[in-house]
Amino acid sequence: MSWYLRRKVLPPAVTVLLILAAWIAVTANGLVPDYVIPAPRAVLESLIATWPTRLASATWLTFSETVIGVLLGVAVAVVVVIISGYLPVIGSAMTPLLIASQAIPVIVIGPLLTIALGYGMAPKVIVVALLCFFPVALNLLAGIRSVDARLIDTLRSLHATRHGLFWRVRLPYAAPRGFAGLRVSVTFAPVAAVFAEYTGSTDGIGYLMLQAIPRMQTDFVFAQVIVLTVMSAVLLATVIGLERLVCPWNKPTEGTITL
Amino acid sequence: MAIDALAASSASAITITGLGYRYPKADRNVLGGLQLQVPVGQHVALIGRSGCGKSTLLSLIAGLHQPTTGAISVLGHDDPAGRLACCAIMPQGDSLLPWLNLLDNVAIGLRNRGVQRQPARARAHATLNQWGLADWEQERPAALSGGMRQRAALARALLADKPILLADEPLGALDAITRAEIQQWLRATIIGSSATLIMVTHDVDEALLLSHRVVLLAEPAPGEPVSTAASWSGWFADDRPRELLLGDPAFATVRRQILESFAGSGAGPANPGEGR
């Protein structure tokens, strides 16, 4: 067995198998009623049965809201960082605003946006974007500000202008940090979309969950949780792949979780 | 622009009079009253104890800081922007950009000046080729040895086409063997450059080998504001190989004189031969 399999694949695989075994043990003996924790088999059957009829289309909708929201959040973050790169005063002026935007609970923003914009995709996209914006913008801002002063001085002596320093030095230096923020963002972005759907929707995983929970269709709820987990994992893997493509010089930091 | 100034001024590249600098946060004065004149094309090695203001002096010359007292003129420029326009800095340690390959790192000064990508790369390639680094020009700095990275950093600084090169312990991060090799290589390489060189180093041999003049910056004793700068002739112009020079009794004599002055240049044990 190769080193990679032994050290990287085997431990998480064993963990998953142990959890699965405990899950089967608990449900098979009737220790817990199946409307509280359904058996893995029931969850799988629910997933297969509902996928073609309802779950696939709901998944696609929630996934679209998530992706559009993430893209919007990242775009706004990059624009904010570029503006504050040229006008540091604006960057400093906006920092309290950035923090305030995160202090307003999504529980409040979600319903307000639904009132304002209706039951369509728009409020969900905005909630996801709001949540994704923050880690990306904050990491990028920290990145462009933390370039070594001696390096900046050196490059200024090699004819670098303010403009050149921003695009050739500060932004590339900050890019891996921006990706670190994005890894955090995309991990909880699907959950943000689901929450926004809770506050008012006609389709999507959040809508299906709201239907299933009062009917105690716990197996269906668990099936949706699995779908959400896979969605987060796919998004995270995509971001990590993108990071390797865009920042190939960057070695993943020690202790960083990679797939 | 810098070239016009060169013609206009006398043969002096750098003129420093009564220079003093007070660190804003540390409440400490260095370089009290330093006088130094460097003719165009001369190589000066600055030696001195840690904290005596060697690196600060380079920053002051480059216009990155303003002197607290005294004046600096670089090719006729007294203002910080004018001084910076004349100087290329080669800092301590690794300063190549990790996301660019060697070729683009070396070409960055040309690119910053607005030279198009292809001609800039062509000039960088010519230098790398001449210096035996062409085979690695597509590699990023992380894939190269410390010696290669320092040679590339020097190529980058020289391609900025500045009349004055300020190097702060350029070989400080290298192991002893690589350092010796690069010293010999530098002696052969920078002889063709017309740039005025100010180099900070902790290594007395290196100072003698690479400079026309070695200047010792003394830390001011308590209650004595003015630092005295002693100086010796360097051996850069002597074109014998490094090993022969190191074995020359005359070289050894100067070396001993410098070390003795070093020992008397401030409080604490003398340890001038240390790497950094």
Question: What residues contact A61, with CB distance under 8 A and at least 6 apart?
Answer: A121, A203, A204, A205
CB-CB: which of A164, A172, A247 is closest to B112? A164
Q: What is the pLDDT of residues A108-134, one digit of tens each?
A: 888 899 899 988 899 999 999 998 998
Is B2 among the domain residues?
no
Residue B104: HSE in the Cβ half-sphere, 13 Å Cα cutoff: 12
Cβ–Cβ of A153/B91 closer than 8 Å?
yes
Taking CA–CA distances from B61, the nearest residue in chain A reads A157
The alpha-helical segments, DSSP class H, found in chain A are: 3-4, 10-28, 40-50, 56-86, 88-103, 106-117, 122-145, 149-157, 162-165, 171-198, 205-212, 218-246
Please give, rounded to a whole number of angstroms, the shortest distance from the CA of A258 to a CA of chain B: 21
Pick the CATH number of A41-246 from 1.10.3720.10, 3.40.50.720, 2.60.120.10, 2.40.30.30: 1.10.3720.10
Backbone angles phi, psi at B49, to 5 degrees: -65, 160
- Residues A156 and A170 sit within 8 Å (Cβ to Cβ): no
Is B131 among the domain residues?
no
Using CA atoms, how far apart are residues A117 and A58, in angstroms rounded to an integer? 20
CB-CB: which of A156, A164, A251 is closest to B84? A156
Question: Tokens 């070409």 sit at which residue?
Answer: B107
Chain B hits for A251, CB-CB cut-off 8 Å, are: 142
Q: What is the pLDDT of residues B24-50, one digit of tens each?
A: 877 777 887 888 889 998 999 998 888
CATH code at B207?
A: 3.40.50.300
Domain range for residue B222?
12-97+162-263
Is B251 among the domain residues?
yes
Is B53 among the domain residues?
yes
With H, G, I as helix, E, B as strand and everything else as coil, classify residue B223: coil
Residue boundaries of the structural domains of chain A: 41-246
Taking CA–CA distances from B165, the nearest residue in chain A reads A157
Cβ–Cβ of A153/B64 closer than 8 Å?
yes
Q: What is the mean pLDDT of residues B103-132?
A: 92
Is B5 among the domain residues?
no
Is B111 among the domain residues?
no
Q: How many structural domains compose chain B?
A: 1
Q: What is the pLDDT of residues A12-63, one digit of tens each?
A: 899 999 999 999 988 888 888 888 999 999 999 999 999 999 999 999 999 9
Q: Is B123 on the interface with A (CB under 8 A)?
A: no
Please give, rounded to a whole number of angstroms, the shortest distance from the CA of A154 to a CA of chain B: 5
pTM over 0.90: no
Position B272 pLDDT exceeds 50: no
Using CA atoms, how far apart are residues A116 and A128, in angstroms rounded to an integer? 16
Query: Residue B229: what pLDDT?
Result: 62
Please give, rounded to a whole number of angstroms, the shortest distance from the CA of B124 to a CA of chain A: 14
Tell me the ipTM for this assembly: 0.82
Taking CA–CA distances from B113, the nearest residue in chain A reads A159
Query: Residue B192: what pLDDT?
Result: 75
Is B202 among the domain residues?
yes
